[in-house]
């Protein structure tokens, strides 16, 4: 964001915001702490955080922001590092968009704010297979589509049938998966907000689906630092290699800046030991990238999304 845009945005008064957000039925919070919206528990506040009440409310807030030329950032929160100065302008959380229903042909419709764990629990109860690979991914279903979240066992693109988006003018559009190119940790979607998703699953044996999910969760417990705040994998895996292996080989497991630490358990995770600031995490990222470059000649690319201002 340019300095001019930043200055222009921070010049909005409470009255301006009340006018811009007139008629919005969802929750509106001024200077909302984003620490409680991020799995890293790090970051400054959102100037204004809106949690739309439903998809119509989302359309309305997007249209009204568009009329004011206000940029919008959507926070799911589990692959994000919010800088310490927070995010000026409008931030949306889809926490209130949490409807799920089963449709004919083993299809699940889930609104964007539904968490992957909830969605997987719903699929298990209906004996629907196909999402087991995602057990333990904590993001929202919308964030998982945008990121094409995945593991070595599967990716979001394997199950997405269609995506309901709200375009920058606040209009709903449904896009079939066939029209969405997916790549490693990215869905190439048109500009806008993912409001809901249709997932194509298949009938399965309840006990087998549940068993597989439990096994994957257990594997994560053993291999990932789940008792400390983190944002999942920090770096993308380079082709044919693993970022964690490269960090480990560079001798950086356990490296620390302030309360930010490269996990001892999984070298591609950074954890917040208590009071880490975004600046600490960013300094640690620089240190790890430099160390890996020196040890292996590889430049690691960020998977983590870094947003906001210092």
Ligand X SMILES: Cc1cc2nc3c(=O)[nH]c(=O)nc-3n(C[C@H](O)[C@H](O)[C@H](O)COP(=O)(O)OP(=O)(O)OC[C@H]3O[C@@H](n4cnc5c(N)ncnc54)[C@H](O)[C@@H]3O)c2cc1C
Q: Which is nearer to ligand X, 150 or 308 (CB)?
A: 150
Footprint of ligand X (CB under 6 A): 39, 73-80, 94, 112, 137-140, 142-144, 146-147, 149-151, 193-194, 224, 226, 230-232, 305
**DSSP summary character for residue 210:** H
CB 146 within 8 A of CB 163: no
Closest to 105 (Cα-Cα) out of 178, 207, 198: 198
CB 229 within 8 A of CB 79: no
CB atoms within 10 A of CB 296: 16
Q: How far is the CB of 29 from ligand X (least distance, A)?
A: 17
Q: Which is nearer to ligand X, 189 or 206 (CB)?
A: 189
Q: Which is nearer to ligand X, 100 or 144 (CB)?
A: 144
Q: Which is nearer to ligand X, 167 or 295 (CB)?
A: 167
Q: How far is the CB of 79 from ligand X (least distance, A)?
A: 3
Burial class (CB in 10 A: 0-12, 13-18, 19+), 82: buried
Q: Which is nearer to ligand X, 65 or 74 (CB)?
A: 74
Q: How far is the CB of 215 from ligand X (least distance, A)?
A: 15
Q: Which is nearer to ligand X, 74 or 252 (CB)?
A: 74
Q: How far is the CB of 62 from ligand X (least distance, A)?
A: 10
- Residue 162, sorted as left (phi over 0), alpha (psi -120 to 50) or beta, turns out to be beta
Q: How far is the CB of 94 from ligand X (least distance, A)?
A: 5
- β-pairing verdict for 305-307 and 269-272: unpaired
Contacts of 41 (CB under 8 A, 6+ apart): 35, 229, 272
Burial class (CB in 10 A: 0-12, 13-18, 19+), 275: exposed
Contacts of 122 (CB under 8 A, 6+ apart): 100, 108, 110
Q: Which is nearer to ligand X, 127 or 242 (CB)?
A: 242
Q: How far is the CB of 54 from ligand X (least distance, A)?
A: 14
- Residue 230, sorted as left (phi over 0), alpha (psi -120 to 50) or beta, turns out to be beta
Q: Torsion angle of alpha carbons 134, 140, 142, 148, nearest 10°?
A: -30
Contacts of 208 (CB under 8 A, 6+ apart): 129
Closest to 260 (Cα-Cα) out of 284, 227, 228, 235: 284
């Amino acid at each position: 964001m340019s300095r001019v845009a930043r200055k222009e945005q921070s010049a909005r008064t409470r009255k301006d915001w009340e006018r811009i957000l007139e008629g919005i039925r969802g929750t509106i919070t001024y200077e909302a702490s984003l620490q409680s919206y991020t799995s890293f528990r790090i970051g400054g506040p959102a100037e204004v955080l809106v949690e739309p009440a439903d998809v119509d409310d989302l359309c309305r807030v997007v249209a009204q922001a568009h009329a004011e030329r206000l940029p919008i950032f959507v926070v799911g929160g589990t692959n994000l590092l919010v800088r310490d100065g927070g995010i000026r302008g409008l931030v949306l959380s889809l926490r209130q968009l949490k409807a799920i229903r089963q449709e004919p042909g083993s299809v699940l419709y889930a609104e964007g704010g539904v968490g992957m764990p909830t969605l997987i629990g719903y699929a298990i109860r209906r004996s629907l297979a196909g999402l087991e690979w995602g057990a333990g991914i904590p993001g929202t279903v919308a964030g998982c589509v945008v990121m094409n979240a995945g593991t070595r066992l599967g990716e979001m693109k394997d199950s997405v049938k269609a995506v309901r988006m709200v375009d920058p003018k606040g209009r709903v559009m449904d896009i079939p998966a066939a029209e969405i190119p997916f790549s490693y940790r990215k869905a190439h979607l048109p500009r806008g907000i993912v409001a809901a998703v249709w997932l194509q699953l298949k009938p399965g044996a309840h006990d087998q689906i549940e068993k597989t999910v439990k096994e994957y969760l257990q594997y994560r417990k053993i291999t990932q630092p789940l008792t400390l705040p983190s944002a999942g994998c920090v770096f993308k895996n380079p082709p044919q290699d693993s970022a964690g292996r490269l960090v480990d080989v560079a001798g950086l497991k356990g490296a620390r800046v302030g309360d930010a630490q490269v996990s001892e358990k999984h070298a591609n995770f950074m954890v917040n030991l208590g009071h880490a600031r975004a600046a600490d995490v960013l300094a640690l990222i620089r240190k790890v990238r430099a160390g890996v470059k020196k040890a292996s000649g590889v430049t690691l690319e960020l998977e983590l999304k870094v947003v906001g201002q210092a």
